[in-house]
Structure formats: structure tokens, C-alpha cells
Amino acid sequence: MTKSDLTHLDPTGAANMVDVSAKPVTERTAVATGHVVMQAETLETILAGDAHKGDVIGTARIAGIMAAKRTHELIPLCHPIGLSKVVVDIEADEALPGLRVTATTKVAERTGVEMEALTAVSVACLTIYDMAKAIDRGMTIGDIRLLEKTGGQSGAWRAQS
């Protein structure tokens, strides 16, 4: 890969927002995932609704949705886009033990929604940590990644398992 392959760099190497005005509007989706690993007792406390700060899962879901809508304010070269759908699912996984977060984003636009899905997952995981850190500061956030995307010039893409 060369500098010229990177769409956010001009010929001199300076960062620039990509001009998407000539691209056609297409329906685009993205799915991202991540997880928060914690002590089994912490997971039990969260699932019982006994965390001191309140509803950890509900609050993290709302935080993820809000973050997806503000991605362009957090990631410098992202375009502001009018999301048509954001879903943040949070499920307990006793094998971790912890919570798995999945975000699905959708838009009809000239640019993709991968960063919005990844931002939703990241902020939801951070919110879980924030709300449960009083009982488990050793939690870890990990494996945040894109699972799949559809639409646009490059078409569909799915991560290898």
C-alpha cells in the first residue's frame, strides 16, 4: 500500500476529508462488535440490576446510539451523515464472563457507516466500564471490530471468522 492508496491524504501527504459529492447515494449498512470482560460476580450484579449507577445495559445502549449519531464530531475526517437506523444489542456471555456489544447502522448516503457502528460499540463498552468500575476496575474492553458492511462502490464485505 502506498500513500496514494490512502483516500484521506492529498498528494503532499496532508490529511483531507474525501470529496464524496460525485458518488451515488446507495443504501449502506455496517455491523460491528466488541466485548467487556469482567468478574462473574460483576456480570451477576449488572444482570440483577443492582449496579449503584443504575441500568448498565440500558444506559450503554443509549450511549452507543448517541455516539453513532455524533461520530463526525469525534473522528476528524468522517462526514456528517443522516443515519436512518442504529441498533445496539448487548448480551450477557457467561463464557467470557461479560457483555457482548453489537451495533448495526444503516443509511442511504454517499459514504459508509462503518465508523458509526464502530463508534457505537466503543462508547457502549466504555459506558459499561464506567457504570461498573466501582465494583470491578479490572474489566477489559476488547475485540472491537467490523463484522460486515454492505453498499457503496466496494459492495459487501464480511470479516473472516
DSSP 9: B
Q: Is 118 exposed, middle or buried (0-12, 13-18, 19+ CB in 10 A)?
A: buried
Cis peptide leading into 97, omega within 30 of 0?
A: yes
List residues with catalytic annotation. 130
Please report the beta strands in the chain, taking only residues with DSSP state E, as ranges in sequence order: 26-37, 85-93, 98-109, 140-150, 157-158
Q: Is 104 helix (H, G, I), strand (E, B) or coil?
A: strand
Q: Match 449498512 to its residue by C-alpha cell.
A: 29
Residues composing the chain? 161
